[in-house]
Structure 1
Amino acid sequence: MNIAMTGGTGFLGQHLTGVFTRQGHHVYILSRKPKETEQKNITYVQWLTEDAAPEQELPHIDAWVNLAGQSIFGRWTEDTKQQILSSRVDSTREVRRLIHKQTDKPDVLIQASAVGIYGTSGTESFTEDSPTSNEDFLSHTAHVWEREGQRIEALGIRTVYARFGVMLGEKGALPLMVLPYKLFAGGTIGSGDQWLSWVHVGDAADLISFAIEHDSVSGPVNVTSPNPVEMKQFGKAIARIKHRPHWLPVPEFFLTKALGEMSLLIVKGQRALPKKAIVEGFRYTYSDLGFALSHLLKNRNAV
């Protein structure tokens, strides 16, 4: 199978590339800065630059995975928020242009999104059947991102909207969450009662591969563990595995001051459940938080 992927040089993209190549697929990674590789089943294709013409380099593509977009980590200024939003819109529109150019359309598109589309809640649980929200920047961004994906779906392509939770791995949010414990300053963030909808990066990559292979999977899919936890449980699990104290509370107002709007990812929370993945028969490797964190924190020096 020929798989085209945007965002392939990122955290999740690198894991996905490994999954796809081990399965024998050829991965075409679209990048502003393509590089040479000795791996025969990986090809880098330049895109989103003035002299790029990816439509001339891509063969027939069986599946597209669109993960491109500026990282959400860091303080959100107005300029940053505009870049986060426009990077997702522009890349998705370019994917549509490239698909439209091809005579033979792909069988499936995996369009990245986020569980932030449901908004935040301390009491509700959200599945793919739940109504979405447009109450804050994250939910608005996810709405706009999915709307652009719907324009590709309208070409007659099976489309999966991968609504990612907080992804745990050697990069991304986990190192930032572990750092206070390394400094013996870890503790409950905010009230501690807010929900964290998390997923191990290995399960996230496997679920995307599963969605590509199973024609019955379409529409929104919550890419989260079936076992979300409250933030205080998450912190205590880190403390236990790292053999560090869990004692220094981090007040909500401090995070809001330090991170601005981005703090809502941590201090508000939501309980998103992967109903569709479970119904379709996907099997998680890291459904248990303790097992997932043990794998990441004990076996990887990067975290």
Structure 2
Amino acid sequence: MRVLVGGGTGFVGTALIQLLKARGHEVTLVSRQPRPGRITWDELARSGLPSCDVAVNLAGENILNPLRRWNEAFQKDVLSSRLETTQMLAKAITKAPQPPKAWILVTGVAYYRPSLTAEYDEDSPGGDFDFFSNLVTKWEAAARLPGDSTRQVVVRSGVVLGRGGGAIGHMILPFRLGLGGPIGSGNQFFPWIHIQDLAGILTHALEVNHVQGILNGVAPASTTTNAEFAQALGTALGRPAFIPLPATVVRAVFGRERAIMLLEGQKVVPRRTLATGYQYSFPELGAALKEIVA
């Protein structure tokens, strides 16, 4: 199939494109910079959607970039990088003489309200209680297409774990030095997914015609707490992991709104993802971390 991928130059995009090419699909990227084999967002807006069977959007400014202060300018970047690219692709699909068979968007489990007791599946309510849940609601609304000529899928991703980037990229050094540990209380749930499985779910969604609607992009081992994750990462590295990162430090570095994503969590289960027939490569945390740090 011919697959158009918006924002495919990042951590998740690189893994997805590798898998798509390995499975024989042709890939065209939409990015900010013009390069061979790519089109720019400006070209897409000007010339419309190139001929493709599936469109996928992964574009979005890294929310937890510790080098960016959580101020109005950064919030605007976070919003525009997601909403504008999604609206642009949705509009191009709607106007295309031959629209793609499928349209896939990756959002986040921040849609669900943090809780120490609730369990969320794809049918659970959310999306209306803070900056990030409202962002996911607007983002998913921006992707909606009229009619049913194009199959629509939204994957709400958890924390993406993989070698050489993502969440592990920021954590690995302190943990290797034996300075890692839980964030805040450590009791908050930590919905995670191995990058191979996120790429796998996206590929499954574009290849299997009956897949549609919301899918939770998290591992089935959804009862993991932050403290259990820290312990498992320490074990995988053969290092102790008991030095907590205090909540006050997290709020000072990331700002109060962003800190919620780290200090509070959601127990999210991939009920519908499993029901579609997707088989996880890394359903358990220990094996996932062992592969990543090997």
Fold in common (TM above 0.5): yes
How high is the TM-score relative to the length of structure 1? 0.90
CA distance in 2, matches of 1:249, 1:22: 41
Task: Find the counterpart in structure 2 of residue 160 from structure 1.
Answer: 153
* 1:108 and 2:119 matched: no
Between the aligned partners of 1:211 and 1:181, the Cα distance in structure 2 is 35
- Cα RMSD for the two superposed structures: 1.7
- Which residue does the alignment assign to 2:19? 19
Report what 2:3 is aligned to.
3
Structure 1 residues 53 and 44: alpha-carbon distance in aligned structure 2, compared to 1, 3 A threshold: same
Alpha-carbon distance in structure 2 between the residues aligned to 1:31 and 1:250: 36
In structure 1, the partner of 2:259 is 263
In structure 1, how many angstroms separate the alpha carbons of the residues matched to 2:112 and 2:28?
32
1:46 to 37, 40, 43: 40
Whether the 8 Å contact between 2:127 and 2:136 is mirrored in structure 1 is: no
The answer to which of 243-252 and 225-234 deviates more is 243-252
Partner residue of 1:39?
A: none
Distance 1:263 1:224 in 2: 21
Query: Secondary structure in 2 aligned to 1:195?
Result: coil
TM-aligned CA deviation for residue 154 of structure 1:
4.2
Contact 1:45 1:54 in 2 (8 A): no
Deviation at residue 167 of structure 1 after TM alignment: 0.4
- Counterpart CA distance in 2 for 1:252 and 1:153 is 44
> Are 1:146 and 1:161, in contact at CA under 8 Å, matched by a contact in 2?
yes
Q: Which amino acid aligns with 1:69?
A: G
3-state SS of paired residue (2:181): coil
**Matching of residue 185 in structure 1 with residue 176 in structure 2:** no
| Structure 1 residue 97, shift from structure 2 partner | 2.7
Deviation, 1:69, is 1.5
Unmatched segments (≥5 aa) in structure 2: none
2:31 matched residue in structure 1: 31
1:48 counterpart SS class: helix
The separation in 2 between residues aligned to 1:52 and 1:274, in whole angstroms, is 35
Q: How many residues align?
A: 288
Aligned AA for 1:15?
A
Sequence identity, in percent?
33
Q: Which moved more, 1:236-245 or 1:175-184?
A: 175-184
User: Which aligned runs of 4 or more in structure 1 are off by greater than 3 angstroms?
Assistant: 51-54, 153-156
User: Could you tell me which of 104, 118, 131 is aligned with 1:137?
Assistant: 131
Q: 1:114 to 1:153 in 2, by over 3 A?
A: farther
Change (3 A) 1:244 1:216: same
Aligned to 2:59: 68
Give the match for residue 202 of structure 1: 196
Q: Which amino acid aligns with 1:67?
A: L
> Could you tell me how far apart the structure 2 residues matched to 1:132 and 1:259 are?
23
Task: State the 1:10 CA deviation.
Answer: 1.1
Q: Does 1:279 align with 2:275?
A: yes
Taking a change above 3 Å as real, the CA distance of residues 52 and 202 of structure 1, as seen in their structure-2 partners, is same
C-alpha deviation, 1:155, in angstroms: 6.3
Runs of at least 5 residues in structure 1 that lack an aligned partner in the other structure: 37-42, 299-303
- Structure 1: how far apart are the matches of 2:201 and 2:219? 11
The aligned counterpart of 2:288 is: 292
Q: Is the partner of 2:8 in helix, strand or coil?
A: coil
Q: Could you tell me how far 1:119 is from its partner in structure 2?
A: 1.9
Do 1:153 and 1:159's aligned partners in 2 also have CA atoms closer than 8 Å?
Answer: no
